[in-house]
Chain A
Amino acid sequence: MDAIFDTFKLRAEAVNAEVHRFPHKNEALDFILHYLRDAGVNDAPQAYAVWAQCAFLDGFDQKQLTAKLPGVIFNVNRELSALAKVGISQLDWAIANTGTLMQDAAAVDQRLVSTLPPIHIALMRSDRLVPDLPSALTKIRPEQTNYISFITGPSRTADIERVLTIGVHGPEKLIIVFYDAPGSVN
């Protein structure tokens, strides 16, 4: 488990992603709230954080979270996502040898929060790590969903003079937050 996580971290960081890991959901949530505050998230255009519905949120009071940090929005739509600074979503599987995240992304809000805002925070259960692409493709099949997304690092281009530039059309920052124990809330 730790070896596979280390491989993932190494690969993901090599493509400019940030990788964090916490034993419990609560600690992961604390980290995210801290991060959002530091990033200047508040209830104003260009400063929203849009959070797509996901299993991570089970057990947390979303109203309370918004009260704690105004600007965090759980009713995601196109307009708000386009005006958000941070998008948060949970990904389904992580592929260690390429540092890739994989997701059933048929629900459009999953794609809105991970494409439009300049920062994407990706939540990952630590037990959802697989070694490589062939093993990942046994986990989500095209028979089950019309849209499977793979994300490896932030958006990038080298189209001008071959200079690597991060953040073209998609996020310029990808922050991956692993949590070990999916169950605990309090």
Chain B
Amino acid sequence: MMLRALSADFLKIRKKGIWLLVFIAPIGLVAMQALNFGLRLDYLMKQYADDLWGALIENVSFFIPIALYLGVTLVSSLVAGVEHQMSSWKQLLALPISRISVFSAKFTLCFLLLCVSCLLLPIGTALLGLLLGFGTELPYLDLLRMGFASFMAVLPMLALQLWLSLTFRNQSLPVTLGVGAAVISPFALQLPEWFPLNWPVYAFNGPHAWWFIGAGIFCGLVIMIMGMLHFNRKDVD
């Protein structure tokens, strides 16, 4: 059931600019570092001589939380917008498919789209490192962690954003909230590490990163189920 809805969803997001966003975001992050390292390669090579790869990953990862907050917000809003735009909900939900399946399919769709971005980012970073001549001893694990650890910690935000985007026809509330979170997140580092906006940072380079990854997955699931239950009962206008 859910897979059928998912395959329909993949068809619906064609030509909507969602795929473009999914590709542009990681390429943009890598391009920023290409500029950073390209402009002052000699200086940075000297400064980070003992761990060139580590320095590159750290520099990229600095922007990942903001990118994730924006990505999560935009992807959920665009995915929900496909149905809101011509009020297709009444048609979709009058089909013989459970609302649980419809909601799960939307969540899975957003998750998979963001996974593509999160996979492209380490690939792009690796290519940049190779291009800059950092050697062929790639830190595969760190690259993968860079891509996915923070993403896991931002899952509660994805569940919340998707819930809000699907619930409200007017997307200004979820988008404001998401952009707000992205803008505030660097300053939230002043706050204790358990503050949810800090999870993506500590899930990548904290002393006990697994706690934040675990908390992200757990809370993400809880919020997703809450959203699903609400979606299952709500009236469709």
On whether the two chains bind one another, the answer is: no
**Which residues on B are within 8 Å of A, measured CB to CB?**
none
**Which residues on A are within 8 Å of B, measured CB to CB?**
none
